[in-house]
Amino acid sequence: QQQVKQSPQSLIVQKGGISIINCAYENTAFDYFPWYQQFPGKGPALLIAIRPDVSEKKEGRFTISFNKSAKQFSLHIMDSQPGDSATYFCAASAGTYKYIFGTGTRLKVLA
């Protein structure tokens, strides 16, 4: 119940394309859903986050879509660039201190 399932494990997208990463959860107590971007050898960097009272949040080229009834949320990267090539983690928390992370998606954007 504490798991967050993330897919796909890896993703290759052409420059300018849309990258879509999906996450699903079971615990209905989760109330905060951040996405992190991690480059090799670096710490996770907060990208964008959403709470379940909204269905979508957009920041620049990054959009989170949230489906509360399906217990799913996804990250969309519009106009993907080679510089977006990184590992992306979704996470969830239930009003507590700890984040439960997904297993990560390795994104490669081809030039």
Partner 1 sequence: EPEVTQTPSHQVTQMGQEVILRCVPISNHLYFYWYRQILGQKVEFLVSFYNNEISEKSEIFDDQFSVERPDGSNFTLKIRSTKLEDSAMYFCASSAAESGEQYFGPGTRLTVT
Distances (CA, A) of 71 to 4, 34, 57, 83, 86: 10, 14, 16, 30, 25
Binding to partner 1 by residue 52, rule CB under 8 A? no
Within residues 5-34, the interface with partner 1 by CB under 8 A covers: 31-32, 34
Binding to partner 1 by residue 84, rule CB under 8 A? no
Question: Parallel, antiparallel, or unpaired for β 62-67 and 72-77?
Answer: antiparallel
Please pick, from the candidates 28, 55, 67, 96, the single residue that binds partner 1 as defined by CB under 8 A.
96
Q: Which residue's CB is nearer to partner 1, number 7 or number 17?
A: 7
* Token couple for 99: 């984040």
Question: What minimum distance in Å lies between the beta carbon of 37 and partner 1?
Answer: 11
Chain centre distance of CA 109: 16
